[in-house]
């Protein structure tokens, strides 16, 4: 049904502007995370850490011998020896463009009643605490581009929402910060950043459309955001919201998978 709420629906008594914006963004971040946890991911057997470099380089090794030809859904792709936080980092590895491209229009609609604007900000580069890479690829140690959401409120306060920050080794709770604090904490000295151009967006759209893993995720995000009853979501208590949202996401994921299976059956007939 899309996201159509008034400022009254979004407002919380005595909530700061920061808290109100974060409250609107939180379900979208949860949607992205839950869908990643239900998407196919390359199976990992173990990881090794090279501490001779700073930051340390974490290498992910395949579960199928010499190549990453086996996949599983979400966290099922990892053995128990891979810590939970690292699993999250792997699920979000190289997914920053996907997170922004998939959610930008939905978040713009959601924040419109507050008077806030949202842009796609490209940063070169973020300062990682650790560097992830798969063993069949070279690690990106310099000048990696990162995508985040830049929010400017009606009162001209500026914030950054980073839905994939964990891939750099940072704790998840730092995903929403004032822009100045984000740049100070996470961005390399001498870094550059700019608002994504229409050409940047077209390039990212084409790259995702050609990816067998990312395009289904984007399709699922669109379906979930369209089908969620946001008025019902905001009527729930804070403790009820995530379980309710996860249940709705699983329903949509299951429906899309059933439709895909039916399409495959019909094509094979």
Q: Please write the tens of the pLDDT for every residue from 27-52.
A: 999 999 999 999 999 999 999 999 99
Q: What is the mean pLDDT of residues 74-86?
A: 97
CA count, 13 A, side-chain hemisphere, 24: 33
- Mean pLDDT across the chain: 91
| Amino acid 142: pLDDT | 82
Handedness of CA 123, 27, 243, 229 (dihedral sign): negative
Q: Please write the tens of the pLDDT for every residue from 145-167.
A: 999 999 999 999 999 999 999 99
Q: How many CB atoms lie within 10 A of CB 96?
A: 23
Contact predicate 17/26, CB 8 Å: no
Q: What is the mean pLDDT of residues 126-143?
A: 92
| Amino acid 11: pLDDT | 52
What ranges do the domains of the chain cover?
A: 7-39+93-128+141-268, 42-91
Residue with the larger pLDDT of the pair 105 and 1: 105
């Amino acid at each position: 049904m899309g996201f159509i709420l008034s400022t009254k629906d979004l407002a919380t008594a005595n909530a700061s502007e920061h808290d109100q914006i974060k409250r609107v963004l939180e379900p979208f971040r949860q949607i992205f995370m839950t869908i990643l946890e239900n998407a196919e991911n390359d199976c990992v057997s173990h990881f090794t850490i090279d501490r001779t470099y700073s930051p340390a380089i974490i290498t992910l090794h395949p579960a199928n011998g010499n190549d990453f030809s086996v996949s599983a859904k979400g966290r099922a792709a990892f053995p128990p020896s891979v810590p939970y936080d690292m699993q999250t980092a792997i699920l979000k590895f190289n997914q920053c463009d996907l997170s922004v491209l998939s959610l930008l229009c939905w978040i713009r609609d959601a924040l419109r009643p507050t008077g806030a604007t949202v842009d796609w900000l490209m940063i070169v580069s973020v300062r990682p605490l650790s560097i992830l890479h798969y063993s069949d690829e070279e690690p990106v140690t310099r000048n990696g581009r990162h995508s985040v959401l830049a929010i400017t409120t009606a009162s001209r306060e500026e914030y950054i929402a980073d839905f994939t920050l964990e891939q750099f080794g940072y704790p998840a709770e730092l995903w929403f910060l004032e822009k100045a604090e984000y740049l100070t904490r996470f961005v390399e000295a001498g870094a550059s950043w700019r608002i994504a151009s229409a050409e940047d967006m077209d390039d990212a759209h084409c790259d995702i459309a050609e990816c067998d893993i990312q395009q289904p995720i984007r399709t699922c995000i669109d379906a979930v955001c369209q089908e969620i009853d946001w008025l019902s979501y905001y009527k729930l208590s804070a403790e009820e919201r995530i379980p309710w949202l996860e249940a709705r996401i699983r329903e949509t994921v299951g429906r899309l998978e059933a439709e895909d299976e039916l399409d495959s059956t019909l094509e094979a007939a």
